[in-house]
Amino acid sequence: MVTLEHVTKIYQKDSIGLEDVSIEINAGEFISIVGQSGSGKTTLAKLIIAEERPDKGKIIIGGWDITHIKHHEIPDLRRQIGVVFQDFKLLPRKTLYENVAFALQVSGEATSRIATVVPQLLKIVGLEQKMERYPRHVSGGEQQRVVIARALAHRPKLLVADEPTGNLDSINAQEIISLLQKINEFGTTVVLVTHNKDIVNMLKKRVITLDHGHVIADQRAGKYLL
C-alpha cells in the first residue's frame, strides 16, 4: 500500500527530516508513527501526501511511484488519500454539511451525488443531527469529526492522520481514535502520527518509532518507547 525505499529529506545541512528510511505499510493496517518533536514523523506524513518531496529514495503509494510526482497530478493523489490534521481547517462561514460537500464540489462531483453522500458521511461520524450548524457552534471533537468525514469524501484507501487529537481533551481524543478504528475496520489503511503515549499503548497495533530522522523501532503490536 505504502512503500518508502531509502528515503531521505534534508531541509538544511543541520536539519534532517528523514535519513535513509525504508518502511512498508500493508493494505488494511492501522499503524502509529511516533517520536519526539523533531523526530521526522510529520515529515514522513507530508512525504506520503506529496506535500514534501524526498531528496533521495523512492515513495510508492498503491503502486504509484510519487517520488517525482508532477504538480498537476497531486489532486489525483489526494483523492486516494484522506488527510486529517491537528488544525481542523474548517471553513467558518459554511455549515458542517457545506464543509464536507465542498470537498466534493471542488472535484466536480454532481450535485445529486453530493446530496446523497454527505449525509452518509456525517452519519458515519455521528453528526447527522448537526449538519446545519456552523463550526463555531460545535465542540472541538465534533469539528474533528467533520474533518474526518471530509477526508472520507472520496472513499480513500489510505487515511493519514497527523496529530488528530492534539487539540482535544482525553475523552474527545478517545472518541476520535475509536472512529479511526471503525474506519480501519471498513478496510481503510490508517497511518496515525501521534505523540500521545496512552493512545498508542491502548491500540496495541503496529508502532514505528522515529528518532532524529531514523527508524529506531518497528513493533508489530507495539508500545510508545520514548
Which of 155, 184, 200 is where one domain is finished? 155
CB-based contact 213:38 (threshold 8 Å): no
Angle at 110 between CA 183 and CA 84, to 5 degrees: 30
| 213, 40 Cβ separation under 8 angstroms | yes
Q: Do 161 and 61 have their domain in common?
A: yes
The three cell numbers of residue 163 are 496529530
**Contact, 129 vs 141, CB < 8 A?**
no
For residues 62 and 163, state if they share a domain: yes
Provide block-wise average pLDDT over 10 residues at a time, the chain (226 residues): 96 89 97 94 95 96 94 90 90 97 93 96 96 96 96 94 92 94 95 94 96 96 85
Q: Are residues 75 and 164 in the same domain?
A: yes
In this structure, what are the phi and psi dihedrals at residue 34, rounded to the nearest 5 degrees?
-125, 165
Which grid cell sits at 172?
Answer: 474527545
Q: Are residues 138 and 184 in the same domain?
A: no
Q: What is the pLDDT of residue 85?
A: 87
Residue 165, pLDDT score: 92
Number of domain units in the chain? 2
Task: Report the predicted TM-score, pTM, of the whole model to 2 decimal places.
Answer: 0.93
Domain region containing 169: 1-80+157-226
- Whether 12 and 63 map to the same domain: the answer is yes
**Backbone φ/ψ region at 28: left (φ over 0), alpha (ψ -120 to 50), beta:** left
At residue 86, the pLDDT reads 83
Please give the pLDDT value at position 193: 96
Strand ranges (E), 78-131 = 81-85
Nearest 10 degrees: CA dihedral of 33, 34, 38, 41?
0
pLDDT per residue as tens digits for the range 84-117: 988 888 999 999 999 999 999 998 999 999 999 9
163 and 76 share one domain: yes
Would you state the pLDDT for residue 28? Answer: 96
